[in-house]
Amino acid sequence: MNHFDTALQELITLALKEDIGNGDHSTMSCIPLDQKGIAILKIKEAGILAGMRVAQQIFMQLEPTSIFTAFKKDGDDMEFGETAFEVTATVHTILKAERLVLNCMQRMSGIATLTKQYTHLLNGFHTRLLDTRKTTPNFRLLEKEAVKIGGGINHRFGLYDMIMLKDNHIDYCGGIIKAIDKASSYSNKLLKPLLIEVETRSLNDVELVCKYAKGKVFRIMLDNFSVPTISQALLMIQGNFETEASGGIHLGNIQAYAATGVDFVSVGGIIHQARSLDLSLKAIFV
């Protein structure tokens, strides 16, 4: 079992515990324990479908003998009236899973749909789209998975898998080069050294990194730079570092940033500004 599958299993276990507690008393009060049922996931809004893998795992975790039949896959375009999947299981399992499945798939589909709008605008450009750590606590796994489904790229997952020196690190440390030197020394002592990205707030910062940090930093973040200033910075960097534009980037200006040739743009809004899409799980009577 890979890391994603293990983390997904843990997420589902905790989410079901939160929702079910000591029992689904609504279902227990009126449905026989062994009664079988069929339900379908109905699509009620156009967009990009996400969360099919998650939905299947939820049902299988509750009832390993569930029969999950997929009619669409993650990343597919979806239209009103389509059916994403059908599941056969005990009614108790279907009703326990219903809200968690919908919460995950509606949220993930919204993120994937918004991400696709951004990545579509980047077609033909060198620039790629990154997400950020601006995520919902304990739901980052699925929000970042939805970004990938929508065509974006995951930035670092957390504080542990990359060194990113942001403005507060630099200011607390006493300067950008001092922070880079300390971070580089720290990283080199680790069993598995970490990549270092540094945030720059001015062309002067960029000049200092270019002059003193080659071989220590792999990516320069150009934070809240205007499009013309990004172009100036790229001329200074000359391809010696990966580059990332961040801050104030949206659907209306992303192509202007991409036209500079910057390697990446990061947009927190693809997650925290995404709107959940409308889906429903409906019982089928046969």
Domain positions in the chain are 3-109+275-284, 120-272
Average pLDDT of the residues in 46-64: 98
Average pLDDT of the residues in 88-108: 98
Q: Residue 48 has what DSSP assignment? A: E
Q: Does the domain made of 3-109+275-284 have the CATH classification 3.90.1170.20?
A: yes
Helices 140-149 + 91-121 axis angle, to 10: 50
pLDDT band at 286 (very low <50, low <70, confident <90, very high): low
pTM of the model: 0.96
Length of the chain: 286
Q: Residue 51 has what DSSP assignment? A: -
Average pLDDT of the residues in 231-236: 98
Per-residue HEC secondary structure of 220-278 comes to EEEECCCHHHHHHHHHHHCCCCEEEEECCCCCCCHHHHHCCCCCEEECCHHHHCCCCCC
The answer, yes or no, to whether residue 129 has pLDDT greater than 60, is yes
pLDDT band at 1 (very low <50, low <70, confident <90, very high): confident
pLDDT tens per residue across span 161-218: 999 999 999 999 999 999 999 999 999 999 999 999 999 999 999 999 999 999 999 9
Q: C-alpha 34: how far from its chain's center?
A: 38
What's the topology of domain 120-272? TIM Barrel (3.20.20)
